[in-house]
Structure 1
C-alpha cells in the first residue's frame, strides 16, 4: 500500500522591505526544495553558496536554510547519519533565532529521516513536537499535514486507534476548507483507506480508494491517480478479485511509465508480482520481482553498494593524491627550468652570441631534455604500478565479496530443493534471498567490467594518419546504426588531407563514444554531423546533433564518472553514465582537451582538440 508522508515545504514570505539579495537567497532555497534526485550535487553547491552570501549580507536565517539543504543532500544520498546531524543543527539554529516555521520544518525532516531508517518511535517523537508547534500556530493546513504524518507512523506501529483519531481530526478540520476549494483531503482519505487495509477491513477501505480515483481523474493529478490505481489493485488482490486487480495494476504501470517515474514503476512491478503470486503464476511473479529489484536499488543492495563505493572512493582518493604530487613536482621543475633559461638569455645578451657558449647551452639543453625524458619514464612506471595496485584491490574486493554471495546461493539452493516443507511466504522469502545473491554477484561483475572498460593496459602507439579520411571511415561504420532511427549522418571536412601524430586506436574510441551518444540522444528523422577542422597547432573533431540537449546546470558534471543526467536516449537505448568519463580520460591521455556546448531541445556540440 502507498502512504502519503507529507514534507511540509514551508514557503515563508520575506518582508517586502528586505534587501533584494536576501529575497533572492530565499527564492533559491525554495527552488532547491523542488529539485529531483538527479540534481543532488546542485543542492550541496547551493547550500554552500547560500551560507557564504548570507554571511556577507548578515542574513541570520541563511545558516538555517544552508544546514537544511545540506541535510536534504545527505538524505537523498542515503547517508542518513550525516543527514540527521545536519537536521539537528538546523533545528538548533532555528530555535536560536526563534523561527517556529523553520523549527517545524527541521522536526519534520528528522521524523522523515528516522522513518526511512525504520525507527518509527523516534519519528513519532519529532512529529509530536511538530504537532505541538502547529497547534500553537493555529494554521489548519499545517496541522492537517502533521496529523496525517503522525497517523502514518501510528499505522506502522500498529496503533490503529490512535491513527483513526488523528485522521478523523484531519477530516473535521479540513472539510469546510475543502468545500471552499482551498485544500484537498485526498491524502487523508488515502491514509484512511490504508489504515482499514492494515486492519484487513477491505470493504471499509475500498470506498476511500474509489473516492480518490474519481477525484484525481477529474483534477488531472496523475501522481495521485497512480496511487489510487495501485491501492485498488492491492485491495482487489486481497479480495481475490483478480480481474479487477489486473485491470488496475496494469493501468498503474502504464501511468508510472507515462510519468517516467522509476520509483512508481518499481512499486507497480511489486504489485504485479504479488498479483501473479496469489494466482499461483510463480514464473510471471518471479519475472516482475526481478524487474522490481532492478529498479528498487535502495532496498536491494544498500549496504553492499556502500561498502564497494567506500573502497572505490578510498582508492580514487589515493590516486588523486598521487596525481597532485606528480603535478607539483612537474611545476617545480618547470619553474627551475624557466629560471635557468632566463639567466642564459641574459648571459647571451651581455657576452654575445659566441659559438663556444652556444655549444655549451646546446649541450646543457640536451642534458635537461634527457633528464626530462628520464623523469617521464619514471613517472609512467609509477603510474603503471598504481594501475596494477588498483586492479589488485578490485580483484581482492570482488573475491572477498563473492564468497558470501556464493554461500548464500549454495544454502539457498539446498533449502529450495526441500521447498515442499516451506510455507508459501517462506518460499517467497527464499526466492528473494536467491535473487539478492544473484544481484550481488552481478553487481561485482559490473564493477570489474567498468574498470576494464577504462583505458586499461593499452600501450600508447603513435602513428601519423589522415584525420579527415579517418572521420569519414568512422561515419561509414555508424551509418547502419543511424539508419535504424532514420537519422542522417554527415561527415564534413575540407578537401585537403589533415595529418596528425597520435594513437589511432584511442582516437577511434573517442569518435565511437561521441557518435554513439549523438545517435542515442537524437530523435528519429534528425541529423548528426562529424567534422574535422584545422586550428593552428591543433586539429579539431566536432560531433554535432539535433538531439534532446543537456541542462546547463548538468554540464559541469557531464564528464564525471558514474554521472547520470536528466536527458534520456530517445529510443529506449541503455546508458550507464560512463562513456563520456572514459572519453575525457582518453583525450587527456593523448594530451588533448574536450568541451561541450548544449541547449535543451536544440542539440549538443562536442569538440575535441588534439595537438598535431
Structure 2
C-alpha cells in the first residue's frame, strides 16, 4: 500500500516538473524572439528615409520609382525583422501596383501586410488595410470579394470609425450591392446613409443620397416610390434657391409621371422645367436644356392628341436648333414634325420636313435615321398617290437598310455583346487568380506554422529528457529510503535479540545464583537499571521515527494540493476550448443549411425558367401556324403580283418556317428535360435511314458545290431505335457538315460495325471546332465561334437535341475535331444480333 502511494506521488511530481519546464521554455522562446526584433537607431532611420522617399514618389505618380524604393526598404526590414518598416513597405508596393492596374500583385502585397498587422494586433491599421483591399476588388470588378472586406471593416468592434469614414464605407457597400444586382440591400444601406445625413443637416449630402435611392426605384419600375423621393429633392432645391437643379428635378418628375401614364401631370412638370431653364438662360448657353424641355412637351402633347400645341413646341425647338445645333439635331426635330403632320393628314408639310431631314442627314453616319426618313417619305408618297416616287423611296430605304454601314453598326452591337461575354470570362479568371493568391498565402502561413510546430516538438523532446532525468533521481532517492528503512529494521531486530539474550541470561543467573541471595538482589537491581535505560532509548528512537513520518505527510499533502490546482486550471482551459469548438460547429451547420436553401431555390428557379420557355414556345406555335396558313392563301391568290412582291412573300414564308423549327426544337428540349419524350423503339435498318437522309440533302450540298461520299461497311445494320428521332439526329449532323464546309468541298458519311455496336460518322473538311467550343459543344443555346460558310441560320439547340435523343435511345454521340482541320461527329447504337 505504501509503495503504491509513493508511485502516485512520484507521477504527480513528474507532471508538475513537466509543466514548469514548458513554462520556462516558453519564456526563453519569447525572450529570444524579442531580442531578435531589436534594431539600431541608424538602421531604423535609414529604413524610414527609404519609406519616406517611396511615399514621395507615390504622391508624384512615379509608381515605378516608388516600387523600387519600397522593395529596398522591404528587403532591409525583413532581414532585420523590423515590423513597422515591413508593413509600410508592403502597403506602398500594394498602392503602386494598384495604381498601375496590376491588381494581382497589389493583392499579394496587401495580404502580406494584413498578416503582419494581425500578428502585431494593430487593429486600426488592419481595418484601413481591409478597406483598401475592398477598394481593390471593387475596381478590379470582383464585387463579391469587395463586399466581404467592406462588411468586415464595418462590423469590426475593435475599431471605431469616424462618421465621414463610415458614410464613405456605406456608400461603397451600397454601390457594391448595386453591382451584384442586390437592390434591396443597396436601398437598405442608402437609407442608413440618409439617416446620418439628416442628423448632420448636410443638405447637399441629403440630396445626393435621395437621388441614388430614387434612381434605384426608377430602375426597378417602382415609379411611385421614385416620385416620393424626387419630390423631397425638389423641395430641398427650392429651399436652396438652386434654379438649375430645380429645373432638373422638375424634368425628372415629368419623366416619372410619363412612365406612370399620367400625361397631364407630366406636361405640368415639363413646363415648369422649361420656365426654370428659361430664367437661367444667358446668351443661349442653356439652349440644350430648353430644346430638351420643348421636345418633352411636344411628345406629351402628341400623346394626348393635342397636335396643335405639339407642333408649336417642336417648331420652337427647331428654331433654336437651326441657330445653335448640329445637322443631326435639326434632322431629329424635322422628323418629329413630319411624323405629326403625317398623323394629322397634312402630307405636304410632312413631305417638306422629311425631305429637309434627309438632306441634313446626307454625309452623316446616322444610317438608321436616314432609313426611317426614307421609309416615312415612301409612306407619304403612297398616301398622296405618287406610287412611283413611293417605290423609289422604299428602294432607297431597302438599300440603306442593307448597306454595309448598317451592317457595320449591327456588327458593332454584336462586338459589344462579345465584350460583355469577355468581361464575364475575365471576371471568372480574376476570381480564380484571387483564389490562387489566397492559397499561396495559406501555404506561407502553413510553412510558418510547421516551423513553430517543429520548435514545439524540440521543446517536448528536451522536456522528455529532463523528465527522464527527474525519474532517475526519484528512483535513486527511493532506493536510498529503502536502504535507510532496511538498516533501521536491522537495528531494531538486533535490539530485540539482545533483549532475548538478556532475559535468558537473567534466568540462568537466577538458577545458578539462588544460593547467593544478596548477590542475586544486587545483580537484579543492576539488571533493572540497565533494562530501564534500554527501554528509554527505544522510546526515544520510536519518537524520532514518528516525527519523520509527520514531516513526510505534510510534504505529501502540499504536493497533492498543488497538483489539484493545476488539474483544475487545465479543466477550465479545456472547457473554454470545447465551447469555442461548439460555436464553430454551430456556424458551420448554419452555413450548410443556408447553402442547401440556396440550392433548392436555384432548382425551383430553373424549373420555372423551363416551364416559362415551354409555355412561350407552345403559345407561339398557334400564331405561326396561322401566319403559314395566311401565306399559303396569299400565294394561291397572288399570281398577278410582281416577282418582287412574290420574293418578299417567299422570304416571309422561309422566316416563318425557321421560327416554327426553332419553336419545335425548344419544345423538344423541354420535353427531353421533363422526361416526357415518347419513344417508339423498333428494329430499324440504319443503312436505309442514312441513304434517305443523304437524298434529302443532295440538293442543299449541290448548291454549295459539295459532294457527299458514302462508305457503308456493314453486313447487318439493324438497331433498336426510334426511326423519327434517329432520322432527325442524322439530318442535323449532315446539315451541320454541309453548313460549315467551304464551297466545292467533300463530306463523308460512314457506317461501320463492331461486335456489339453500329457506328455512323459525318466527316467534313470545314473550319473545325476550337478547344473552347468543345467544352460546351452539346450545351443548350450554345453557338460555335465558327459560322456557317454561306450565312445559314443556327439556333444553338441542334447539337443539344442530338445528344438528348441519342442518350434517350441508349446511344452515344461525340465529336473529334481540331480547329482548321474539319470535324467528325460520331453516333453509336447497340446492334441487333
Whether TM-score is above 0.5 comes out as: no
Structure scoring higher RCO (CA < 8 A, sep ≥ 6) equals 1
* Class of the TM-score when normalised by the shorter of the 2 chains: 0.3 to 0.5
**TM-score when normalising by structure 1:** 0.43
The answer to which structure has the higher helix fraction is 2
**TM-score when normalising by structure 2:** 0.33
